[in-house]
Structure 1
C-alpha cells in the first residue's frame, strides 16, 4: 500500500479477527489471574486477622513509590483517555489538545495540596475525602453532599471504560452480526470477572494489574508513533492530510469540522476546559484513593513529580487521531462513531499479533481504573452513608463487607448505564461528572487551608454550583442529541463560551461568599473541627492502628 493511499476502512467491524481476539483473550486471562492472586499480595497481619476497610479499600495504606506511580497512572490514564482524546482530535482538531494542557497543569496544582490531604487522612484514619470534610467542618450533611457527588460523578466514568472495551470488540468484529445480546455478552463476561477479583482483592488487584497495563500502553504508543508515520509517509503527510480534512466544510452545516491550530472562537473553551479539568481531576474519589493508599507523605510528593511523564505520553496518544485521518478513515467508515478511530487504526496498520497487543492495552486500560473507581465509590457509600446514617456502630469487618457488595452494584450499575445509552450520551454524562465533581473543590481543597468558610455556606455554594451546572448542561442540544450535547456553553451576558464546570464553580463561590457573610453575621454555629494545624504536616510512615478507622461516634 502506498503511504499516501487511504485505507479501505469500510470493512471495520465486520468478521471476527481471530488472531487479535486470541491475543486479547490470553492477556485478559493473565491479568484476571493476577487480580485474584493480588488478594495475598503485600497483605498485613491485620488483614489475616480479619477484614478491614483500610486493608481492602486502601491496600493497607502500605504502597511505596514504585507501586503508587503505576497505580495513580493506571487510575488516571484510562481507556477513555486512549479512545476519546484521539477521537476528539479526529473530529475537531486542535481543541482536543486541551487534555494535554490540563495534565500539565494538574501536577503542580496537586503537588501543593495532596500531601496535606495525605497527612490529615493518615493522622485521623480518613478513608474518603468526605471523611475529611466531616472531620474538618463538623458537618455530616456537607460530608453526605460530597459523598453523593463523588458517587454520581464516578458512575458514568466507570461506564466509559466499557465504551473503550466496546470499541475494541467492534473493531475485532465480535458481535458485529447477530442479536444485541451476542454483542453485549463479551462485555458482560469481562465485567463479571472484574467484579469478582475486585470483590476478592480490593485495591491490591488494580495495583498489581497496573504494572501490566502501563507496560502494554507504553510499548504500544512508542511503536505507534514510530511505525505508523513510516507507513503513512511521515509526519508532514499526516499533518497535511489532517489539516485538509478538518478545514473541509461540512455539506450540511457549511462549516469546517475544526482546524490544526486553535481558532479564536475556541480559545476560551480550550483554556477553561484545561483549567477546569485540572482542578476537577483530583476531586474524583478514585484519584484520591491512590494517594491515601501510600505509606509516606514523601511518596506522594515524589510521585506527583514523576507522573508528569504521562503528559508526554498523552501528547503521543492524542496524535493518533491525526494518524487515523491520514490513514483514510472517516466518521462514516467508523460506524458513525469517532471513538472507533484508534482501535481501527491499530487494526489496519499493525500486524495482527501486535494489533492484538495494542487492543489489549485498551481493554486492560479499562479494567484498572474501573476497579479503582468502583472501590472509591463503594468506600464513599460505606463510610459516609451507611456508617453515618444507617449503622453508626458498624465494625471494620461489616464496613468492608458493605463496600465489597456496593462495589459490585456500582459496576453493574455502570454496565446497565452504558448498555442503555448510546456511547455519545454516555460521554456527555461523563462530562457532566466533571461539572459536578468540581463543586466539591471549595470544601475539600479550601478546607485543607482554612475554616474561614462556614459549613452551611459551603453546602449552599455546593448546591448553587450543582444546580446551575446541571441545568445549563441539560440545556445543551445538537442535531442528534437533545440534552447534554456539549461540555461548553455561553457565559451569561457574553458572547464567549466556556466549560460549564468553571462557570458553575464561579456561581458556587459567589453563593459561598454571600452565605458565609450572612451566617457569620447571625452567629450560626460553625461546627467542631476535629483536626489541628499539626495534622496537616503529619509524616507517619506506618499504618495507623485499626481502632483509628473505626466508625466515628
Structure 2
C-alpha cells in the first residue's frame, strides 16, 4: 500500500467530495415534501434534458461496464465489442416505447413498470411476477457495481472488505436522505471524470505503447497463442450468431430493467425523452473507446490479480499513468459505481413498495407511508448487494449479471408489447413468463465454462449442438428463452380466448399514450399517487 499513497489520497478525497454532494442533493431542486415516491423515487418527475442525459447515461454505463467490457476484450477479443452495437441500436428501438410509457405513467401516476402491467391487463398476479422479476434481475446488478470498486482497491493494495462496506454504507445513507436527486447530481461529476480519463487514456497510453498498430499486433499474438477457438480480434463462424443475438437481446433488455425506466419516468416531458434518445449514443462512442483498454492492457503486459480479470484496467492505469492521474482514474471508476447503484436500489425498492407492499400488505397506504417503506427497502437491497460480494465468489456474481439479462427479457411481452396492444390475454402472458423463465434457466444451467471451473451457469452462450444440431455455433440463451415465452404466450392467449376465460379490465385509454406535460389528463401527482 505504501507505493500507492498518492492514488489513495486522491481517490478518497474525490469519493468523499462526491458523497457530500449526495447528502446535500436533498436541497437541490427541493420539493415542498419529499414524503412520496413521486418526489423521493422519481425526483418530482421534473428533470430536464441535461439532467436526464447525465442521469440515464450514468445509470446505463456503470463501473462494471468500465472494467468488465475491456476485461472481456482482454480475455476473448472481438466478442467483447457486442456492447457497442447494442447501445447503438437500442435508442431508436426504444424511442417510441419510452414516450408511450412516460405518457401513460404520468396520466395514471405509475411509478414502476409493474404498475403499468397491473392497469393494462387488470392482473395483480402478472404485475407481481413483473415486480419480482425486476427485483431479482436488479439485485446482482447492484452487487456488480462493487466489482469495479473492489478491482480498484485491489490495485491500490487495499485489502479486506471494510472499505467496500463503508463505501456502500455512505451510499445507503445519502440515497435514504435524498432519493433520486442524489444520483442525478452526482452523475454530472461521474460522467465528466470518465470522459476526461478515457480521452486522456486513448491518446496517452497508445503513444507510450508504440501506437495502435503495435497494440492490435500484441492482441492478435496473444489470441493466436490461446487454444480457445472463439478468441481473436475478429469474429469467426462459431461466435457470429452469439454476437448478433447477444447484442439484440441486450438491446431489448436494457430498458426493461427497472432502473432504466426510473430515469425515464423522472423526465419532465416527452420532448426530454426524444432529445435524450438522440443524444445518448454519444456514450456508445465512449464505450467503444473504453473497450479498447482491454487491448491496451495486453500490449502493456498486464496480468490479472489472481484470477480477477476485472483488475486489468485499474492495473493498466496504475502502470501507465502518473500516480496523481491514476488516482483520478480510480476515483472515476469508484464514483461510477455510486450513480447506478443508487438508482438500482431506488427502482427495486419502488417495485417492492408499489407492487408487493401496497398491493398485498397495505392497500390503504398513504404517500408518506409508501416513501418510508421504499427508503427502508432501498437499505435492505444495498445490504443484500454487499452480501452478494462478501459471500459469493465474485466471478460467479459476474455470471449472475448475464443471468439477470435472461430473466428481465421475460417481461418484454407484458411491458413492451403491452404498450402497443392488448391482444395478449393475461393468462397467456403468465404462461409465457413461466415457460420463458423455465427455458432460460434450463439453457443457462447447461452452459459450462471450464476456464472458471463452472459446469453450469458459466455464461450466456448456449451451444446449438446441445439441441441436436451439427454445428459449433452458439446463441444467446436469453434470445431462445424469449422465443419460447412469446410462442407460449400466443398459444395461451388463443386457448384462453377460445375457452372464453375472462380477461382483466384495461384501465388505460388509447389517448393516454400520447399525453404530454400540462395535459389536463395528467393527475396532480403530489396529491394522487395510486395506480
TM-score computed with the length of structure 1 as normaliser: 0.93
Match of 1:185 in 2: 162
Match of 1:127 in 2: 111
d(CA) in 1 for partners of 2:506, 2:6:
60
| Partner SS state of residue 365, structure 2 | coil
What is the aligned counterpart of 2:300 among 327, 339, 346? Answer: 327
Does residue 299 in structure 1 map to residue 299 in structure 2?
Answer: no
| Partner SS state of residue 238, structure 2 | helix
Does residue 87 in structure 1 map to residue 74 in structure 2?
Answer: no
| Partner SS state of residue 459, structure 2 | coil
d(CA) in 1 for partners of 2:454, 2:55:
36
d(CA) in 2 for partners of 1:493, 1:233:
48
Deviation at 1:507, TM superposition (A): 0.6
Say which is worse superposed, 107-116 or 401-410, in terms of deviation: 107-116
What is the aligned counterpart of 1:539 among 511, 516, 530? Answer: 516
Q: State whether residues 10 and 331 of structure 2, in contact with CA within 8 Å, keep that contact through their aligned partners in structure 1.
A: yes
d(CA) in 2 for partners of 1:349, 1:502:
40
Over residues 202-233 of structure 1, what are the superposed CA-to-partner deviations in whole Å (9 max), with x where a residue is unaligned?
00000000000000000000000000000000
Alignment: residue pair count: 523
Match of 1:463 in 2: 434
d(CA) in 2 for partners of 1:375, 1:113:
22
d(CA) in 2 for partners of 1:452, 1:166:
47
Does residue 376 in structure 1 map to residue 353 in structure 2?
Answer: no
Give the alignment of 1:14-25 within 5 angstroms.
17-25=4-12
Instruction: Mark the CA change 1:485 to 1:16 in structure 2 (over 3 Å): closer, same or farther.
Output: farther
d(CA) in 1 for partners of 2:105, 2:3:
49
Over residues 25-82 of structure 1, what are the superposed CA-to-partner deviations in whole Å (9 max), with x where a residue is unaligned?
00011111000000111122243xxx11100000000100010000000000000100
Over residues 280-310 of structure 1, what are the superposed CA-to-partner deviations in whole Å (9 max), with x where a residue is unaligned?
0000000010000011111011111100100
Over residues 505-540 of structure 1, what are the superposed CA-to-partner deviations in whole Å (9 max), with x where a residue is unaligned?
011011111111100001111111010000000012
Q: State whether residues 447 and 463 of structure 2, in contact with CA within 8 Å, keep that contact through their aligned partners in structure 1.
A: no
Deviation at 1:550, TM superposition (A): 3.1
| Partner SS state of residue 498, structure 1 | strand
d(CA) in 2 for partners of 1:436, 1:383:
21
Match of 1:104 in 2: 88
Deviation at 1:483, TM superposition (A): 2.4
d(CA) in 1 for partners of 2:23, 2:524:
27
Over residues 419-445 of structure 1, what are the superposed CA-to-partner deviations in whole Å (9 max), with x where a residue is unaligned?
111221001011000000001001001
Does residue 242 in structure 1 map to residue 219 in structure 2?
Answer: yes
Deviation at 1:165, TM superposition (A): 0.5
Gaps of 5+ in 2: none
Deviation at 1:336, TM superposition (A): 2.0
d(CA) in 2 for partners of 1:380, 1:356:
37
Does residue 220 in structure 1 map to residue 197 in structure 2?
Answer: yes
Deviation at 1:541, TM superposition (A): 4.4
Does residue 481 in structure 1 map to residue 454 in structure 2?
Answer: yes
What is the aligned counterpart of 2:152 among 168, 174, 183? Answer: 168
Over residues 310-356 of structure 1, what are the superposed CA-to-partner deviations in whole Å (9 max), with x where a residue is unaligned?
0000000000000000001234xx32221111000001100000000
TM-score computed with the length of structure 2 as normaliser: 0.97
Over residues 466-509 of structure 1, what are the superposed CA-to-partner deviations in whole Å (9 max), with x where a residue is unaligned?
11101221222233123211111124343331111100001101
Match of 2:207 in 1: 230
d(CA) in 1 for partners of 2:202, 2:468:
44
Match of 2:463 in 1: 490
Gaps of 5+ in 1: 1-13, 176-182
Does residue 60 in structure 1 map to residue 47 in structure 2?
Answer: no
Does residue 267 in structure 1 map to residue 240 in structure 2?
Answer: yes
